[in-house]
Copies of this chain bind each other. A is one copy, B any other.
Amino acid sequence: MSNHPPRSTIADVARHAGVSKATVSRFLNHRDTLLSPEIARRVEAAIEALSYTPSPMARALKRGRSRLIGLVVADITNPYSVAVLSGAEQACRQAGYLMMLFNLANERERESVGLKVLSTYQVEGFILNTMGLEQGSVLTPVLRGRPVVLVDRLHQGLEVDFVSLDNVQAVHACLDHLLEAGYREFLLVTEPLGGVSSRIERVRAFESRLDALGPQAGGRWIEVSVDDQGGLAQALRDLRAGARRPPAVLAVNGVVSMRIVAAVAQLGWRLGPDIGLIGIDDTPWAPYVGPGISAVAQPTDALGSLAARCLIERIGGLAAPARSIRLPGTLMARGSTRLESLAASGEVPGNRG
């Protein structure tokens, strides 16, 4: 059993350099001011020689700051969450913060637990990508004044920075594209709203746009829970039966897109000619699923890094009123929104940007 030397401490460095701990600490934190070149040189050499690194734990204890950022995510299995997480992680790293991850695994009641746990580790701020079900009033006490930024989903009564897709723009882009492609009858499919702000916003945008469009187009929206694939298929059957020409479905997110694709496959219909499909959230596979699935791609990386940067600004003391940042999505038009089948023309599915 090899015994490993304990990591060297500030005391070791001080001894090695023949100075006091305070001097080493000064070198670490206020290198510029208050230090004679000669001493600085010796301290630096000692640090190098002992390959000394300050203990963030001890620092956190003393200063109350930990260089840690807590990320609470509803479901790390969701590619959207991961993409955002990834962008955020990068920005944090660049700013010298480390990320502590807490995954809710879709158990919403664990949200406050996650916050508490991260809290005890003295994280300096939180990025929340959760269901948004906990009211701000219950969150506030555990936050203890530490900054928070919300991603994708708002929390009632929590007035903090918010970063998200521009849902109105995204839904409008979808509808405009469908109209241009020749569809006139629309069905928006969402998971049960359940108070989730992004879903609600998308539904509202859908409704208001449809109102504005007037009689030239018609549409409804339905909630279908994940375990009711049969209900979804039935809804699609009804939709198509009641329409004079091929209708189109707008999937509120990637999960729903996937389920629509499954249902359409099961029904034996062709995406595009028989029923249009466009969804919010793009995936690398989308170009190759059936005739290609049209989608609005979210700028997930930007969302994540913006969230992180906002948070870090707040940690740095910024006291501006709560900001709301909305980033546009970009439409990827593919075969699932092409009324005329291309099977005959020999064209191949793929990206059309």
The chain A residues found within 8 Å of chain B, CB to CB, are 1-4, 7, 53-58, 60-61, 66, 76-77, 79, 82-83, 85-86, 89-90, 93, 98-103, 105, 116-118, 120-122, 144-145, 258, 261-262, 265-266, 268, 283-290, 319, 346, 348-350
Indicate if the CB atoms of B76 and A66 lie closer than 8 Å: no
Distance in angstroms from A111 CB to nearest chain B CB is 14
Interface centre among A83, A262, A268, A286, by most chain B C-beta atoms within 10 angstroms, is A262
Residues of B within 8 A of A120 (CB): 53-56
Contacts known (A122-B57, A285-B285, A350-B265); A82 close to B77, Cβ less than 8 A: yes
30 pairs of residues in contact across A and B, judged by CB atoms under 8 Å? A1-B319, A2-B145, A4-B145, A53-B116, A54-B120, A55-B120, A56-B120, A57-B60, A57-B61, A61-B61, A76-B86, A76-B89, A77-B86, A82-B82, A86-B103, A89-B101, A89-B103, A90-B105, A101-B101, A258-B288, A262-B288, A262-B350, A265-B287, A265-B288, A265-B350, A266-B350, A268-B346, A285-B289, A288-B289, A288-B290
Residue of B nearest to A83 (CB): B77
Residues of B within 8 A of A85 (CB): 76
Docked Cα-Cα span, A206 to B49, in Å, equals 49
Distance in angstroms from A75 CB to nearest chain B CB is 9
